[in-house]
Amino acid sequence: MTQNISHNLLNGKKGLIFGALDERSIAWHVALACKREGASFALTNAPIALRFGALDQLAKVTGSQVISCDVSDYEQVANLVDTVVDNDGKLDFILHAVGMSPNIRKGNDYTKLNYKLLQQTLEISAISLHKVLQACVEKDALNDGASIVALSYIGAQRIFSKYSDMNDAKALLESIARNFGSRLGGKGIRVNTVSQGPTKTSAGSGIGGFDAMYDFAEKLSPLGNPTAEECADYCVSLFSDLTRKVTMQNLFHDGGFSTNGISEELVFDLAELSASKNK
Ligand SMILES: NC(=O)c1ccc[n+]([C@@H]2O[C@H](COP(=O)([O-])OP(=O)(O)OC[C@H]3O[C@@H](n4cnc5c(N)ncnc54)[C@H](O)[C@@H]3O)[C@@H](O)[C@H]2O)c1
């Protein structure tokens, strides 16, 4: 359950949040948690998401401005950064919660990728982080000590067959975060990725076999799968001054999934399965 108590961890901080589409979105909950902790921020999403999503509702609740931006287009990203800084001044935090694979949407297997679509997957899901940070550097848009968090998935390290070219996109995303973290540290600016466990959102549910992956992770993780609200609280801690020496990390927020080999529950399930096969 989300804690509704504010710890004022982000009092006076200003941010920019990418990727809130509807109430299930992880970014939606990050926005609510940032508001609770005293931050102000702008919300942004692709033009089509603004048309069909529910971002206006979130903007109302959080008192935020909504700015349209397709993250694959550098000019739009640069304009977005200009607008945000002109309106509210330099940024203290950014959430990058953007991901999409047209190959997955079309059901293309990893051995039969459409390369034009692969380019789109990489542009939207990974290179967009580079574009955002390059625009911020170019426009001197980040305050000293700012914190950038991009959401990733364990497909960057281990292959999840149904995650197809998103495995590659997340590996690239994490590398871009490290590269910028290395270059921005002189100003105390942190860049990290949070590798979230499976969460029932629009992007998550769009992946074939998602329910099976969700159940498997739930059974393997000692703490169970993390919710979007729990992810939001973790992101708040990374935006806060309590984590000012954490940078260039891929931080697993997955209930222990990434480190556990097998659980009692899975051993039991597999034993039952093989017993029923041997009957
Ligand atoms: N849901 C999960 O299981 C899970 C697990 C680990 C990591 N993540 C990551 O968390 C992030 C947020 O995903 P989510 O699960 O909240 O789903 P979501 O569908 O709510 O969020 C994805 C967002 O990306 C936006 N987007 C897509 N193309 C865009 C473009 N061209 N320009 C701007 N925005 C664009 C969508 O409009 C949407 O708001 C993604 O990076 C996703 O890969 C999700």
Instruction: Indicate which residues carry an active-site annotation.
Output: 153, 163
For the domain 14-277, what is the CATH superfamily, name and number? NAD(P)-binding Rossmann-like Domain (3.40.50.720)
Question: What is the strand order of the sheet 40-45 is part of?
Answer: 66-68, 40-45, 14-18, 91-96, 142-152, 190-196, 250-253
pTM to 2 decimal places = 0.97
Specify the amino acid at residue 52: F
User: Residue 204 has what pLDDT?
Assistant: 84
In the chain, domain spans: 14-277
Q: Which is it for the CA torsion 24, 27, 28, 33, positive or negative?
A: positive
69, 157, 167, 181, 259 from 122: Cα distances, Å: 17, 16, 10, 20, 27
Taking a C-beta distance cutoff of 8 angstroms, is the pair 14, 92 a contact? Answer: yes
pLDDT digits (tens, 9 = 90+) for 118-173: 999 999 999 999 999 999 999 999 999 999 999 999 999 999 999 999 999 999 99
Bridge partners of 45, per DSSP, are 68
User: Residue 3 has what pLDDT?
Assistant: 61
Span from the CA of 5 to the centroid of ligand 1 (angstroms): 27
For the CA of 150, the closest atom of ligand 1 is 41
pLDDT digits (tens, 9 = 90+) for 52-107: 879 999 999 999 999 999 999 999 999 999 999 999 999 999 999 999 999 999 99
Token pair belonging to 148: 């950038």
**Taking Cα atoms as reference points, which of 24, 54, 13, 151 lies closest to residue 95?**
151
Ligand 1 site: residues with CB under 6 angstroms? 19, 21, 25-27, 45-46, 49, 70-72, 97-100, 124, 151-153, 196, 198-199, 201-204
Which residue among 166, 201, 215, 254 has the greatest number of ligand 1 atoms within 8 angstroms of its CB, and so is best to mutate?
201
Taking a C-beta distance cutoff of 8 angstroms, is the pair 173, 156 a contact? Answer: yes
**Rounded mean pLDDT, 184-200:** 98
Q: Is 1's pLDDT higher than 70?
A: no
Span from the CA of 279 to the centroid of ligand 1 (angstroms): 45
pLDDT digits (tens, 9 = 90+) for 228-258: 999 999 999 999 999 999 999 999 999 999 9
**Taking Cα atoms as reference points, which of 263, 262, 243, 238 lies closest to residue 30?**
238
Span from the CA of 275 to the centroid of ligand 1 (angstroms): 40
Give, using CA atoms, the residue closest to atom 42 of ligand 1.
Answer: 99
